[in-house]
Homo-oligomer: A and B are copies of this chain.
Amino acid sequence: MKPTIAILGATGAVGQEFLAILEQRNTPMASLRLLASPRSAGKTVKFRGEHLPIEAVGPKSFDGVNIALFSAGASVSKEWAPIAVKSGAVVIDNSSAFRMDPAIPLVIPEINSEAIGNARIIANPNCSTIIMNMVVWPLHKARRAKRIVVSTYQAASGAGWQAMQELENQAREMLAGKPATMQVFPHPIAFNLFSHNTTIGADGYNVEETKMVLETRKIFNEPNLAITATCVRVPVLRAHSESVNITFEQPITEREAREILAKAPGVKVVDDRAANYFPMPKDASGQDDCLVGRIRQDISQPDNRGLDLFVCGDQLRKGAALNAVQIAEVLHFCYLQ
């Protein structure tokens, strides 16, 4: 039985990536239904050689749908996920709406696909969280991570395609000596960078940083894992980078780490010291694998208890759409048969 798949938020940056990935992976499906806000209804989108119409989401939209991929923001997810579930669909939600709900699994298939169980809503983690954990998890499994210090270099795409356009437009303006026009971001992003512009909590961490901390603990099922994160937006279009420092309970050498990461699914080691070639956003963009390099013993820690590494991953692919499609594939092959 091939599933009928729906995409809610088909016109967004992640929605467009859903389509690209379903086409590239030739994901088995009976049919595909494209849903969006009434504003986008009536447009068509090309998929597997056909022009598919975009429908305004409504109470009947999920009738007959087996898997619904949501990426239209948390409030839209909260409104429509219960309706989709009542219609019989399993929802894979890319928003933050359900991620920390204890009843809802938060899944990176390479890490915890077994958490899916018989859930009818499955949450797709935050992009920075996914990209970091593709490389931290295999090391954690081997030597138990005790503490993580991460600083991010996040692309504009995380704020949608308008943000990517804003970066390009501002660069054009500034190169012409004009002031930068700001619509999406509160500060200029071209030739600048800024602390991730999400609300700051009482502890001084912004929402993005808190997601990285809490979601990692949930995905790893390690409620006490010590993590601190500093999330920064940089003038890059669509791949996030992260500088990750890990303290381990058991000693781990740089060579062991490289061997573990070389075998890790969805990870590609790019670590050529002689050629000074390491992960870069330009190479991670459009790629499924997360790139990891700068793998080295942390000289500030005794007894091989620390590692430093640098990871780049496509925010729209593994950081969002690809991970959700992988969850759909697990559902199709393991659960919905």
Residues of B within 8 A of A44 (CB): none
Interface of A is mostly: mixed
Please state if A203 and B149 are interface contacts (CB–CB under 8 Å): no
Whether, in the assembled complex, A197 has its beta carbon less than 8 Å from a beta carbon of chain B, the answer is yes
Please state if B230 and A282 are interface contacts (CB–CB under 8 Å): no
Contact segment of A56-64, A70-78, A133-141, A297-305: A297-305
Residues of B within 8 A of A276 (CB): 186, 195, 197-200, 206
Residues of B within 8 A of A232 (CB): 153, 241, 243, 310
The answer to whether residues A193 and B300 also contact, given A171-B171, A234-B234, A308-B230 and a CB cut-off of 8 A, is: no
Complex CA–CA separation, A299 to B168 (angstroms): 36
Please state if B273 and A245 are interface contacts (CB–CB under 8 Å): no
Please state if B280 and A228 are interface contacts (CB–CB under 8 Å): no
The answer to whether residues A281 and B236 also contact, given A243-B230, A245-B228 and a CB cut-off of 8 A, is: no
In the complex, residue of chain B having the shortest beta-carbon distance to the beta carbon of A204: B296
* Chain B nearest Cβ from A211, distance in angstroms: 13
Residues of B within 8 A of A205 (CB): 296, 299
Whether, in the assembled complex, A294 has its beta carbon less than 8 Å from a beta carbon of chain B, the answer is yes
Please state if A188 and B236 are interface contacts (CB–CB under 8 Å): no
Whether, in the assembled complex, A254 has its beta carbon less than 8 Å from a beta carbon of chain B, the answer is yes
Please state if B149 and A234 are interface contacts (CB–CB under 8 Å): no
Whether, in the assembled complex, A163 has its beta carbon less than 8 Å from a beta carbon of chain B, the answer is no
Whether, in the assembled complex, A87 has its beta carbon less than 8 Å from a beta carbon of chain B, the answer is no
Whether, in the assembled complex, A306 has its beta carbon less than 8 Å from a beta carbon of chain B, the answer is yes
Chain A: how many interface residues by the 8 Å CB criterion? Answer: 60
Please state if B171 and A175 are interface contacts (CB–CB under 8 Å): yes
In the complex, residue of chain B having the shortest beta-carbon distance to the beta carbon of A198: B276
Please state if A153 and B193 are interface contacts (CB–CB under 8 Å): yes
Residues of B within 8 A of A245 (CB): 149, 228, 230, 245
Q: Which of A191-232 contact B (CB under 8 A)?
A: 191-195, 197-200, 203-206, 213, 226-228, 230, 232
Complex CA–CA separation, A14 to B87 (angstroms): 66
Residues of B within 8 A of A171 (CB): 171, 175, 190-191
Whether, in the assembled complex, A263 has its beta carbon less than 8 Å from a beta carbon of chain B, the answer is no
Q: Which of B192, B194, B273, B310 contacts A200 (CB 8 A)?
A: B273
Q: Which of B167, B194, B297, B300 contacts A280 (CB 8 A)?
A: B194
Residues of B within 8 A of A298 (CB): 228
In the complex, residue of chain B having the shortest beta-carbon distance to the beta carbon of A171: B171
